[in-house]
Chain A
Amino acid sequence: MSADVIAPPPPENPTEDWLREERIPHIWCPGCGIGTSVNCFTQALEESKLDRDNVVIVSGIGCTGRVAGYLKLDSFHTTHGRPIPFATGLKLANPKLKVIVYSGDGDLFAIGGNHFFHAARRNVDMTVICVNNMTYGMTGGQVTPTTPIGAKATTSPFGNIEEPFNLPFIAHSCGAVYVARWTSFHVRQLTKAIRDAIAKPGFTFVEVISPCPTLFSRRNRLGDGLDAMKFYKAHSEIRNGADTREVAISHQSKIICGKFVDITRTTWHDAQAAHLHRVMGNRFVPPRNWEHLIKSDPMEDLVAETIRDSSGDGS
C-alpha cells in the first residue's frame, strides 16, 4: 500500500453530530424512551436542512428536560414548567428563530399547563414536543395529569382515580395548528411528524408516548422498556385524522396514533404585523427579522391590502 492512500474515516453515528458528546453517556435509565425520541428529533432536523444557528431548543425540568442540555444547539434549560413562556420570549425577540420546546408531561401539563394553553391559543410559532411517560420520572414516579386511571404511582399506591388529560384534544381545542401522537416504537412516523411540525408555521404539537421503565412500568409491574415498546407495537392503532375527542388513553388500552390536526390559522406574529399595519399605516416599521414572516404570511393579501390602504393616509 502506498503511503498516500488514506484510510476512510470510520463512519459516525448520524445522531453524533447533534450531540454534546462530552455529556454522553446521558443520565437516562436503560430502556428509557427519551433517547429514542432524540434520535427521531435529530433525524428530523437533519432532513429539515435548517440553518442550525437559527434553531433553539428549550426544555423545562425533568428527565425529558435534560434533552436540551445534550443537544449541540442553542439550548435553554429553564425552570420547571416554564419552557413555553421562555420560548415565546425568544420568538418575540428574534422571530427568525425556529423555536422548539422539548419537555415532559409533568412539566408541560401540570405546573406548565397554563402556558401551553395560551401559547396554543395565540398560535405562537413554535413546536412543542412532549415526551409523555405518564409520570414525573425525575422526582420518583408521582401522578401527572396524564397518568391513566388505575395506574399506580408513588402518590397513588392503590391506583390513580383522577381523570387524565387527553393531550391531542387539549392541543386541538386550544388552537394548535398541527397535532400528532406517536409512540417511541414508531420511529419513522415520529421523525416525519417532528419534521412536518417544525416546517409548519404556528403552534405545533407532537406527543410521544414513551416508556419510563424505572418508575412507571416497574410500579405497575409492566416489565422493562422493551416490554413497553412491544406493547406499543401490539396495541397501537394508526388513525390519521381521528377526532381528537376520541383518542384518550386508558391504562394499558389501545393507543391511537397519527396526525390528528393539520390546519392553517394566522400566527401571533402575522396577526400582530397585519394589525399594526392596519392601525399605524406607514408609521409601522416591522422590526428587524419580521419581514420574512410577513412575506410567508397566510394573510399575505390582508397585509398587502392594509399596506395599500394605509399608504394613502400619510398620517
Chain B
Amino acid sequence: MGKPGEVPLKTKVRGEVFIDDLRCKGCGFCVEFCPTDVLAMSDGYNPKGYHVPRAVNAAVCTGCNLCGLYCPDFAIFGVRNLG
C-alpha cells in the first residue's frame, strides 16, 4: 500500500483467488503449481487440523484457475478480473 495520494504501482488486479478453508485438506498442490507463486501454506490450521494455503502474493494472481484444476478437494479457485 502506498502513501495517501500516491499512485499505486499496479492499478489493475488481473485475477483473484478464493479459498474455502473448510474443504481444504492441506495437500499443497495449489501452492506448488501456481504459475506465479501467489500461494503459500499458512501455519494455521482449519477445524479439521489441516494447514491451509494463503494468497501471500495476491497482486500477481492472474486468475488462471490452475489452482482450481489441481485442487482435489474443490477448495480453491481463481477468477480473471474482467474489469
Contacts and interface: CB of A to CB of B under 8 A. Distances in A.
A188 B33 CA distance: 12
A195 to B, nearest CB: 13
Interface string B46-83: 00001000000000000001101111111011010000
A76 to B, nearest CB: 22
A35 B73 contact: yes
Contacts of B66: 187
B68 A15 contact: yes
Find the residue from B16, B27, B65 having the highest chain A CB count within 10 A. B27
Contact of B27 (A16, A188, A226): A226
B67 to A, nearest CB: 10
Given A30-B50, A225-B27, A229-B29, A13 B69 contact: no
Interface stretch (A20-28, A84-92, A307-315): A20-28
A188 B16 CA distance: 20
A191 B72 contact: no
Nearest to B23: A25
A300 B49 CA distance: 60
A94 interface: no
A188 B69 contact: yes
Contacts of A38: 72
Contacts of A198: none
A14 to B, nearest CB: 6
A31 B32 CA distance: 12
Nearest to B80: A11
B70 to A, nearest CB: 6
A214 to B, nearest CB: 12
Interface string B3-27: 0000000000000101010110111
26 contacts: A12-B77, A15-B68, A15-B74, A15-B77, A19-B74, A26-B73, A28-B72, A28-B73, A29-B25, A30-B25, A30-B27, A30-B50, A31-B29, A36-B29, A36-B69, A36-B71, A39-B68, A39-B74, A185-B33, A187-B69, A224-B27, A225-B27, A226-B28, A226-B32, A229-B33, A230-B32
Interface of A: 10-16, 19, 24-26, 28-36, 38-40, 43, 185, 187-188, 191, 224-226, 229-230
